[in-house]
Structure 1
Amino acid sequence: MTRRGWWVLSALAVALVAVGMFLGDRAFASAPAEPVAVADHFVAPGETLWQIAGAVALPGEDRRDVVDMLVELNGRSTASLEVGERILVPAR
């Protein structure tokens, strides 16, 4: 490759990095989430989030998605529960 070719290639690389730095730090907001009506649920002995998700899931809805939604709705990092604990479930 010629000296001029290296300069063109280097300039192109610098331009791509500059564009990446300019656009890479931008956050794009999505539409706000739909509000969800909720009800209180008190955890019974032996009850799991999987069972609760099965009780509130709509027909045809994947129970794993409902578990994920319950974890997020209650601001949890795990799906573990304690007896007597109050959690929010969608009022369906």
Structure 2
Amino acid sequence: MVVLVILTFAAMGGRGDTRSESKSTEVVSYTVAPGDTLWSYASRITPEGDDVSETVEELKQLNHLQTSSLQVGQRIMVPVR
């Protein structure tokens, strides 16, 4: 179990590191309002035809979130696209 967690973390971290080294990302900070979800933020910035769930995962990584849950008043960073 521990090995699986370590391998998963290493695989995810490797992709994130490669992306951040090759290109910096401009972000905007938002304060979460009632009814806001990661999906709603992701759907606004995901290009048509792309998978919104991949953008949700990107937002989770960018904001160091373990889950997709947001709290009213929480500040999150969203890439500018």
Could you say which structure has the higher helix fraction?
2
Shared fold (TM-score, shorter chain, > 0.5): yes
Counterparts of residues 30-45 of structure 1 (less than 5 Å): 32-33=18-19, 34-45=23-34
Could you state the TM-score of these two structures normalised by the residue count of structure 2?
A: 0.70
- Distance across 1 between alignment mates of 2:52 and 2:79: 13
Cα deviation per residue 1:31-89 (whole Å; 9 max; x = unaligned)? 73222111111111011111111111122221000000000011111111001111000
Cα deviation per residue 1:8-32 (whole Å; 9 max; x = unaligned)? xxxxxxxxxxxxxxxxxxx9x7773
- Unpaired segments of 5 or more residues in structure 1? 1-26
Structure with max Cα Rg: 1
CA RMSD of aligned residues (A): 2.0
Percent identity at matched positions? Answer: 40
- Distance across 2 between alignment mates of 1:52 and 1:83: 14
Q: Pick 1 or 2: higher relative contact order, CA cutoff 8 A, min separation 6.
A: 2
- Which amino acid in 2 is paired with 1:44? A
Q: Say how many residue pairs are matched.
A: 65
- Distance across 2 between alignment mates of 1:91 and 1:39: 6
- Unpaired segments of 5 or more residues in structure 2? 1-9
Determine the structure 1 residue equivalent to 2:64: 75
Could you state the TM-score of these two structures normalised by the residue count of structure 1?
A: 0.62
